[in-house]
Homo-oligomer: A and B are copies of this chain.
């Protein structure tokens, strides 16, 4: 019996927190710092983590919890309020990066780079595209709020499109992960995917009714709801893999979506936040770092990394901008929408991890993906400020079109206020001194 896992965990918690706080001081999201901590502790730099098995086991459950949380944060009730424009923006914003990522991988990827990947080259290249579809708008929204630009047509389009982007991204992920097994025909795969969504819908509806009955019964003792939600998430994730050949993280996300419709959602989400920040998130970032090894950063991979970042930024601007244009947004507004969608977050990393585990992605690409997540997240607020600010210099005519605070913005603010409280919780009153 060794005790290295104690030291490993201590190092992981300390480094992700310290670097996370540092990056936050520089007005960057903590995910960037946590990722850096993972890379620094991993084989690429210090290589100080010794109990890799422990980290892997915890992060297995970790990705499930993180996708479950992501699902809970996607407010599906908002879908109705987003409208057709958001849908077209999201669709173009998924298809163009998917194509761009695929093309880039097609040019660079070869059998010599497929170390650890077992799927066909076509699927591998497609998977790089799928990773690029993910969007994380929380940093964008924070920036827009700061600039007082959230209540603009562009701001609202971004909020709406991000919700739909999540759903479309998860569908793309589900289809491609289901095709990882080369023995299964594509027709069967699609049938199974549809069957899974039907199953999840029915199971979710039954669970929702049961949950609502229970929540009308018990108004104290909230722990049972947290446990019940977690059990539901685990069962759906398990069924996805076992009976439908669908990725478990898809199941976890769908379970989160269903829970987000219940009255207990804010409480449950806050408890999973605690589980996440005390153990699961830091270990997940460490496990990402473990997958990035230095010797693999050949000139070929470095060039690929740089191009991947550029493609990641450009395809979102072009894709979402195109979508906005189609919906009769002005050129300036279209660019604003596009720029608002470029940042990628944890979801891209979770998807990449899953792909690597399924043989859909070579471990060599983990480095480029990490770099892309970091760069798009860091660059998003800067580009956003440029896109919104240029008009003020008197180059164009008039101000950005201000609109009334919409339901979408209101609900986003309510949801985020809960999270902020969590992040910066005050000392509870009446605590023993």
Cβ distance A10 to chain B, nearest Cβ, rounded Å: 4
Task: Flag whether A1 is at the interface (Cβ < 8 A).
Answer: yes
Set of chain B residues within 8 Å of A274, measured between Cβ atoms:
271, 274-275
Residue of B nearest to A251 (CB): B6
Given A6-B237, A227-B14, A235-B7 in contact, is the A433-B263 Cβ separation under 8 Å? yes
Cβ distance A74 to chain B, nearest Cβ, rounded Å: 14
Contact A234 B411 (CB under 8 A): no
Determine which of B226, B415, B431 lies in contact with A267 in the assembled complex, contact meaning CB atoms within 8 Å.
B431
Task: Flag whether A296 is at the interface (Cβ < 8 A).
Answer: no
Task: Flag whether A146 is at the interface (Cβ < 8 A).
Answer: no
Assembly stoichiometry (copies): 2
Cβ distance A280 to chain B, nearest Cβ, rounded Å: 9
Residue of B nearest to A57 (CB): B57
Residue of B nearest to A16 (CB): B227
Contact B1 A357 (CB under 8 A): yes
Count of A interface residues, CB-CB < 8 Å: 64
Task: Flag whether A371 is at the interface (Cβ < 8 A).
Answer: no
**How far does the alpha carbon of A7 sit from the alpha carbon of B234 in the complex, in Å?**
7
Set of chain B residues within 8 Å of A357, measured between Cβ atoms:
1
Cβ distance A28 to chain B, nearest Cβ, rounded Å: 16
Nearest 3 Cβ contacts at the A-B interface: A10-B234, A6-B238, A220-B424
A-side residues, CB < 8 A to B, are 1, 3, 5-7, 9-10, 13-14, 17, 21, 53-54, 57-58, 60-61, 64, 219-224, 226-228, 230-231, 234-235, 237-238, 241-242, 248, 263-267, 270-272, 274-275, 277-279, 357-358, 411, 414-415, 418, 423-428, 431-433
